Structure formats: C-alpha cells, structure tokens
Structure 1
Amino acid sequence: MNQYKIMIIEDDPLIQNELQILLNSNNYQTVTIKEFSSIVDTIKEENPHLILLDINLPVENGFSVCSKIRTFSNVPIIFVTCRDTDMDELNSIMLGGDAFITKPYNIAILLAKIASLLKKTYSINQSEILQYNNAILHLENSSIEYNNQNVELTKNELKILYYLFKHAGTICPRNDIIDFLWENQLYVDDNTLSVNINRIREKLLKIGLEGFIKTKHRQGYTL
C-alpha cells in the first residue's frame, strides 16, 4: 500500500511540529490543519488514513469535529489530549473515536496504537462480501442488505457485524468483540458494546432482520 497519510488536528504549534517530526521519521505522510474554521472541508479534501485529534481547539472542540467526521467518514480517529477525565474518554468513544491518549503521551504507545489501527482498518478486504442466512454485509459501503433492502452502518457497527459474520454459528464472547474493536478493554466498558449491539438490532429491524443477533447469557453473541 502507498504511504499512509495522517492528519494532525492540533492548535499548539510546538506539539503539532513534534508530532509531524515523529510521524515523518516513522515513514508516515502528515498533513496539518491551518484554518480551524474549515476542518471538515480540509479532511474531505485530504482524505487521510488516520486522524490525531485534540479536544481543546479554537472555533469548535474535538468532540464536535469527531461527530461531524462520523457523518461522512469511518477514518480512524485517535484523541490526543491533555484532558484526562473518565467522561472525556467515554465521550470520545461514544462519538466514534477509536482510541484516547493523554498528553504528555508515550511515544512508543502512540506509534503502536497508530500502527495497530491502520493495520486493523485497512487489512479488511473492502471488496469482500459476507453472507449469512440471506443477509449480505457490504464492506465497501458499510451497509447490510436483506430482501433487497439496505441500511447503512457506522464504522463500529460494521466491525461488530464483520466479526459476527466471520464467526457465524459460534458464540462470540463479549470481550473478544471488544478486543477486536478497541484492542484494549480499558478504552471501552461493557455497556458501550451493549449500546452498539442495540443500535445494530434497531437498524436490522428496519430491513426485516428480527432476532438476527442472538444474546447468549453470560457468554456473548451469535448469529
């Protein structure tokens, strides 16, 4: 694959420059935000493979930016911020962030997280089509089809269904799904997975897939 492009959304010029040097020296292409009033437009124009996003930004905060990004893109987002409360971390996950790292960050951990997310995100064959019981999961456009009806999925919803389709017929422990989604259970609690599963079920009902995801008490989920 071509060199990965990472967008740095950080208003502190010293930290921005530090991240650029770090990433460039590790063979990543970098792009930074110059006009914070047009972040979304710049993202659409640059189409990065991954975004490093601060929370405290001029014009609008990182949570707002993340929410807007998720209306049109599943690009991996890592929050890199000096804010370190549990609520900040929970908000970042619920709004679609993939990881939460506090400043001052550990360089090795940050690089490992970036490499892991890039591998997970871009190792899935986007042209692959998965089928189970007449339901078709389309990876290329993040949707699921049943009886000629389609419903769009968020990035996490798609990944959950991808994991369940790949393990269809077997019980998938909740912790295994969490590890697949967020690598480390410290970044998400059990309730967050339940929220995502419930949202998927609501979407599946819209296309007639009732009871498609089954809960196995104290074990996990299965198709």
Structure 2
Amino acid sequence: MEETIFIVEDDEAIFSSLKSQLEQWSFKVVGPESFHDIMKPFTKSDPQLVIMDIQLPAYDGFHWCREIRAVSNVPILFLSSRDHPMDIIMAMNMGGDDYIQKPFHMDVLLAKIQATLRRAYSYAELEDPTDELKWNGTTIDLKRCVIQRDDQEIELTKNEFFILSILVESKDEIVSRDDLIRKLWDDERFVNDNTLTVNVTRLRQKLSELGLEEAIVTKKGMGYMAITLQGKS
C-alpha cells in the first residue's frame, strides 16, 4: 500500500525538495493549498504521517497539531529551524511524535519517517497476540490505542500506547530507558533522550484521569516500571 505523507511547510523550495525525494521512496506526498485551513485537505488525504513546520502563516504548527489531535492519532513529525528546548517540549506535549531541526540531512529525516511509521502501525510485533491487556482494573485496547475503566475511556497517542504496552507486558519488572528507546525508535542514534521523558510524563498525566497516577514508577538510574496496585490487579 502506498503511504501518504501530508507536509505542512510554507517554504515552497523545501516542500518541493521533500516531495521529490520522498516520492523516490514510493511515498505519496500532499500538502495544503492554503495555510488558513489545513484540516479539510488533511481529512481528504487521510495520511499515514504528517510533517509539520512550526512557523507558518496565520496559525503556527502547534495550533494545527492540536486541531489534528482532536480528530486523529496520526503520527506528527515536527520540522523547524527553531532549536529552543521549550519548542521541543511543546511539540511533544502537543502530541508530536518527533522533532527535527533545520537544516537536516535527508537520510536522518527518512530514518525518522520509517521508524515512526513502523512503531505507529506495526502492532503485530507486540509480544502479546491478544487484542487487549488487563492492568489495574483497566483494559488496554491494542487495536484502538485506548485505555478503559468502566465507562471512562482515555485515548493514547501511538508513542504513549507503545510505552504503556511495553511496560504492562513486563509489569512489576524494570524496563530500562535504553530498552524502551530501542523498542520504540529502532535506532537510538536518531532519538533525543528528552523525547522519552516527555512521553512518559504525558502518559502519566493521562493515567491520572483513571486514578493511576502512581502506577508507573521511575527507578532512578535504571528505568521505568508498571506496577500492580493493591486491590487493582
């Protein structure tokens, strides 16, 4: 199946270059005609990945990331010349899956695209072949990327889903940060360690809505552990 990448980039030269090179790798590349409304072309193209610049006319990339996240869990890769740490943190907190600073090497961008697509859509590689996991009185739906308790349902991003799934599959055992990075991103050379920290923090915030704020613990210098809370196994 031809995978579609939706690129939101107002620099025509960069857009054309990305389009040309990605099409050589058999991706279909589309973009909005107007930067005042990207949601209609986004919905129409139904992409498997979004590449989003931050500095855009009218509304910035953070705004459009929020709009997309309201309706879709499609992976979003931020592309920006801004290198302030807060921009990276904001990008992750908004639901971004990765962040690449301009100027960039095309080989690095391509590696990130391929790794992002693998971790977003290769559910069959999970060790548990079932459709759901039970943990602390909740159900983790592996097909829909949600965690449920009673009538309450929390939607997870692809990164949050994989982190939680990996930790729960090894519940009550420590999973090292290096192991998480290798499983999530395949090649840790292309990953900022801060990205993992931000994703775990964001996952904990969502779990707190289900009363599970203490269910993922940090083992300093070792990694993370999904614990079984007393009375909630």
Judge same fold: TM > 0.5, yes or no.
yes
Residue 119 of structure 2 corresponds to residue 149 of structure 1: no
After superposition, residues 17-166 of structure 1 pair within 5 angstroms as 17-125=16-124, 128-132=131-135, 134-146=137-149, 148-155=150-157, 156-166=159-169
What are structure 1's unaligned runs of at least 5 residues? Answer: none
What corresponds to 1:173 in structure 2? 176
Pair 1:185–1:104, CA change in 2 (3 A):
closer
Q: Distance in 2 between matches of 1:16 and 1:188?
A: 28
Q: How high is the TM-score relative to the length of structure 1?
A: 0.85
- Please say which of residues 159-168 and 115-124 is displaced more in the overlay: 159-168
Q: Distance in 2 between matches of 1:124 and 1:164?
A: 15
Q: Distance in 1 between matches of 2:181 and 2:152?
A: 26
Contact kept in structure 2, 1:178 and 1:193, CA below 8 Å: no
Q: Distance in 1 between matches of 2:41 and 2:103?
A: 27
How big is the shift at 1:173? 2.6
Pair 1:44–1:194, CA change in 2 (3 A):
same
Q: Distance in 2 between matches of 1:87 and 1:133?
A: 34
Question: Over aligned residues, Cα RMSD in angstroms?
Answer: 2.5
Residue 201 of structure 2 corresponds to residue 201 of structure 1: no
Identity %: 31
Pair 1:213–1:81, CA change in 2 (3 A):
closer
What are structure 2's unaligned runs of at least 5 residues? Answer: 228-233
Aligned length: 218
Q: How high is the TM-score relative to the length of structure 2?
A: 0.82
Query: Given residue 55 of structure 1, which amino acid in structure 2 is its aligned partner?
Result: I
Pair 1:211–1:61, CA change in 2 (3 A):
closer
Q: List 4+ stretches of structure 1 deviating above 6 A.
A: none
How big is the shift at 1:191? 5.0
- Please say which of residues 182-191 and 103-112 is displaced more in the overlay: 182-191
Query: Given residue 158 of structure 1, which amino acid in structure 2 is its aligned partner?
Result: F
Pair 1:200–1:177, CA change in 2 (3 A):
farther
How big is the shift at 1:37? 1.6
